[in-house]
């Protein structure tokens, strides 16, 4: 298998869009991808997501269900041999 060299900014932006859409939090919430690391040995893509929100944990859990599949779709066929490991870091409360 030929391994892509980097996750292009376009793909990273698509990942963020997919994650934001999947969580569907209130307008005061903020979601950002804090890091993306490609592990070529284990064929994993580690994605850390920082979420700042006042939403209840149930809302976050609902958004997390099925997220891996959506992220795999956004990665496209070029990254199909890699498994996305998505780790959310959650800050309760909204900061001005």
Instruction: Tell which residue, 55, 94, 87, has the closest CA to residue 71.
Output: 87
pTM value is 0.81
Domains and CATH numbers, the chain: 9-92 (3.30.300)
**What would the pLDDT profile of 76-91 be if each residue is shown by its tens digit?**
888 899 999 999 898 8
Cα(81)–Cα(34) distance, rounded to whole angstroms? 23
Give the integer Cα–Cα distance in Å for 8 and 88.
21
Q: Which residues contact 44 (CB under 8 A, 6 or more apart)?
A: 38, 82, 83, 84, 85
Tokens 């041999």 locate to 81
Per-residue tens of pLDDT for the chain, all 96 residues: 344 556 777 777 888 899 889 988 888 889 888 888 999 899 999 999 899 988 888 888 888 889 999 999 999 888 899 999 999 898 876 555
């Amino acid at each position: 298998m030929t391994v892509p060299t980097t996750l292009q900014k376009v793909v990273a932006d698509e990942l963020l869009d997919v994650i934001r859409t999947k969580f569907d939090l209130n307008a005061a919430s903020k979601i950002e991808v804090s890091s993306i690391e490609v592990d070529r040995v284990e064929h994993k893509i580690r994605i850390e997501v920082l979420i700042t929100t006042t939403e209840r944990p149930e809302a976050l859990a609902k958004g997390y269900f099925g997220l891996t599949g959506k992220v795999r779709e956004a990665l496209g066929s070029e990254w199909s041999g890699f498994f996305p490991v998505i780790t959310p870091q959650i800050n309760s409360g909204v900061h001005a």
